[in-house]
């Protein structure tokens, strides 16, 4: 008999699913899970992520990862070398900027806007500067300038009048677009961290993001190029199709202090103010649906000359980095 995960609310069964059909379980908000369910998920190799209602990462439950000591030794040795770390970081930043520019360009062709046009020029120049950055500090400055220009234009891609966006703001995200971006980056970062563990890489030892206690620096590095492709595109789809609306966000109670996640801590300073808005459960369900649909969409993956869905591409980029560290392949960012 194949084990099934049963979802209940009170005495009413809402749904059930075969555990072998799951890749990941995300529990958002005040949700309980039985010990028997956790054991079954661990036996099947399905990891469970725990998030707050607003999407902040709390923790994850996963079984043995089978990490290979030799690969991690190579990782530590190579990423401690400033030249090698800078080379990898340059590739990542250049890929991220290229993907940011591609997203803006796709919308600019349909709905031209002067702010988007200016951002496209700036991103083209910054994308050319990234591979020549002399050190990590300069490279981080290029990445920061690109992000500022990109998000200044990002709001022009929103096509509904009751939702506005005037730039990326974190800790806490103050508006619906920023909340969805933070929520999506939490989910994507967790996905990268899981695949790093499965590949044998240490998710806490990266190149672009400095190593700090509790920070999954390598996962943060690798997700950079995929942010525009997976999360930003999902946010625009959710907002512009009205799958998620402004009415899906309600004022947070003063005593509901969210658990801040490590993905946002890596980008912003300490000392977050209380969150002002929370995504409602129904809004969160529709946001998950849009995000998962994007992950499951297929596109051309040039590294293997075949079509893969975005979840598979996340996995393959992690394994490509492992081969890069072993000297078996050159790491190239994913740019559709």
Average pLDDT in the chain? 86
- Any domain includes 332: no
- The residues with which 142 forms a beta bridge, in sequence order, are none
- Domains held by the chain: number: 2
Nearest to 183 by CA among 173, 197, 193: 173
- 24 and 138 both lie in a single domain: no
- Any domain includes 116: yes
In the chain, count of helices (H) and strands (E)? 11, 9
- 20 and 134 both lie in a single domain: no
Determine the pLDDT at residue 237: 97
pLDDT digit string, tens, across residues 240-252: 999 999 999 888 7
| One-letter-per-residue 3-state SS of 227-261 | HHHHHHHHHHHHHHCCCCCHHHEEECCCCCCCCCC
Biggest alpha carbon distance in the chain? 62
- 180 and 32 both lie in a single domain: no
Q: Check pLDDT > 90 for residue 310.
A: yes
Q: What is the CATH number of the domain that holds 26?
A: 3.100.10.20
277 in Cβ contact with 176 (< 8 Å): yes
Determine the pLDDT at residue 64: 67
318 pLDDT band, cuts 50/70/90, is very high
pLDDT digit string, tens, across residues 180-229: 999 999 899 988 988 888 788 999 999 999 888 778 999 999 999 999 99
pLDDT digit string, tens, across residues 126-161: 999 999 999 999 999 999 999 999 999 999 999 998
Q: What is the CATH number of the domain that holds 129?
A: 1.20.120.920
Nearest to 68 by CA among 76, 59, 60: 76
103-118 mean pLDDT: 94
Domain that includes residue 14, residue range: 1-51
- 207 and 257 both lie in a single domain: yes
Burial of 138 (0-12, 13-18, 19+ CB in 10 A): middle
d(CA 147, CA 142): 9
- Any domain includes 60: no
d(CA 117, CA 22): 42
- Radius of gyration (C-alpha) of the chain in whole angstroms: 20
Q: Check pLDDT > 60 for residue 70.
A: yes
More confident residue, 79 or 6: 79
- 201 and 277 both lie in a single domain: yes
pLDDT digit string, tens, across residues 14-68: 888 888 877 678 776 678 888 888 888 888 878 787 766 545 566 778 776 554 6
Q: Check pLDDT > 70 for residue 330.
A: yes
- 83 and 21 both lie in a single domain: no
User: Is the overall model pTM greater than 0.85, yes or no?
Assistant: no
Q: Check pLDDT > 70 for residue 298.
A: yes
The number of C-alpha atoms within 13 Å of 306 and in the hemisphere containing its C-beta is: 6
pLDDT digit string, tens, across residues 244-296: 999 998 887 644 434 334 444 444 444 455 567 788 889 999 999 999 999 99
Helix axes 233-240, 281-296, angle to 10 degrees: 130
- 86 and 215 both lie in a single domain: yes
- 215 and 313 both lie in a single domain: yes
Determine the pLDDT at residue 270: 46
- 90 and 139 both lie in a single domain: yes
């Amino acid at each position: 008999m194949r084990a099934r995960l049963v979802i209940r609310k009170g005495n009413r069964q809402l749904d059930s699913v075969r555990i072998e059909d799951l890749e990941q379980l995300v529990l958002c908000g005040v949700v309980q899970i039985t010990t028997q369910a956790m054991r079954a998920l661990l036996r099947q190799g399905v990891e469970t992520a725990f998030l707050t209602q607003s999407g902040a990462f709390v923790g994850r439950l996963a079984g043995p990862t089978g990490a290979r000591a030799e690969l991690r030794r190579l990782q530590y040795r190579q990423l401690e070398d400033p030249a090698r770390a800078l080379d990898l970081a340059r590739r990542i930043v250049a890929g991220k900027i290229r993907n940011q520019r591609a997203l803006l360009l796709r919308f600019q062709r349909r709905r031209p806007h002067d702010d988007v046009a200016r951002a496209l020029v700036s991103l083209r120049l910054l994308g050319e500067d990234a591979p020549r950055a002399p050190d990590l500090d300069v490279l981080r400055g290029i990445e920061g300038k690109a992000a500022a220009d990109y998000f200044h234009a990002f709001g022009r891609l929103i096509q509904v009048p009751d939702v506005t966006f005037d730039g990326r703001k974190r800790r806490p995200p103050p508006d619906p677009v920023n909340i969805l971006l933070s929520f999506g980056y939490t989910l994507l970062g967790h996905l990268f961290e899981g695949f790093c563990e499965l590949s044998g890489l240490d998710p806490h030892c990266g190149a672009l993001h400095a190593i700090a206690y509790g920070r999954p620096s390598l996962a943060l590095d690798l997700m950079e190029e995929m942010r525009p492709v997976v999360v930003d595109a999902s946010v625009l789809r959710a907002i512009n199709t009205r799958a998620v609306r402004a009415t899906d966000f309600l004022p947070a109670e003063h005593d509901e202090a969210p658990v801040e996640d490590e993905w946002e801590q890596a980008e912003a300073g300490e000392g977050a103010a209380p969150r002002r808005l929370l995504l409602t459960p129904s809004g969160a369900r529709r946001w998950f649906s849009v995000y998962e649909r994007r992950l499951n969409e297929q596109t051309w993956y040039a590294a293997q000359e075949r079509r893969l869905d975005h979840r598979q591409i996340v996995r393959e980029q992690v394994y490509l980095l492992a081969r890069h560290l072993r000297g078996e392949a050159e790491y190239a960012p994913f740019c559709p």
